[in-house]
Amino acid sequence: MTGTETAVLREMRWWDIDSVLELERDLFPEDAWSRGMFWSELAHARGPGATRRYVVAQEGDRIVGYAGLTVSGAESDGDDGRDGDRDGDGGRAADVQTIAVTRDHWGTGLGSRLLTELLRAATAFECAEVLLECRVDNVRAQKLYERFGFETIGVRRGYYQPGNVDALVMRLTDPSTSVNPDNPGNGVQGTETHG
């Protein structure tokens, strides 16, 4: 058994970075994140001012997936809403920064579980919408996002470098109403979203 049956979702911590980097480089060799990028994201994922949520999927002692989300807007920025207010009404918006699953776990529902956790985090952060960029050539990911209610709202030309691959910009309004169509009852072990 693999994927949805045996992988445990939990909060990503600094000691997971090496395993996540290995998976990142395998899946995204041209545009893999750096160690510093993950450190920076995790630095904003804990405590009362947290604006990030990162989780890993662990099967035994192996990381088989990971996902992350960042929040922007009036409340998370601590200002009047004019900076970073992507939804235009003074509320918060979330951005899916990354989501990845090992090839041997594709088609197991693990990607859906990870996305479900990110949408739960967006709801806990009181976000009015969730946005993401998806490679135009990643049809598997596009279908996953569409199942959850994401709609394409634009294209970013040459977004993924150095390959100069375009990105679809996708949006989900009201993440609190979107549930995992495969299994809405999956949870994540670890601390609360903000602590």
For position 90, what pLDDT does the model report? Answer: 53
The pLDDT value given to residue 163: 83
Q: DSSP letters of the chain?
A: --TTTTPEEEE--GGGHHHHHHHHHHH-TTTPPPHHHHHHHHHTSSSTT--EEEEEEEETTEEEEEEEEEEEEHHHHTS-S-SS-SSSSSSEEEEEEEEEE-GGGTTTTHHHHHHHHHHHHHHHTTEEEEEEEEETT-HHHHHHHHHTT-EEEEEEEEEETTTTEEEEEEEEE-GGG---SS-TT---BSS-TT-
The distance between the two most distant Cα atoms of the chain, rounded to a whole number of Å, is 49
Residues linked to residue 179 through DSSP beta bridges, in sequence order: none
The amino acid occupying position 51 is T
Compute mean pLDDT per 10 residues along the chain, 195 residues long, and list them.
71 96 92 92 91 96 96 57 42 92 93 95 93 94 94 94 90 79 42 36
Q: How many CB atoms lie within 10 A of CB 75?
A: 16
Cβ distance 151 to 134 under 8 Å?
A: no
Residues in the chain: 195
pLDDT at position 169 is 97
Global pTM?
0.81
Backbone angles phi, psi at 47, to 5 degrees: 90, 175
Confidence at residue 5, expressed as pLDDT on a 0 to 100 scale: 64
Beta bridge partner(s), residue 62: 59
Q: Which pLDDT does position 76 carry in this prediction?
A: 40
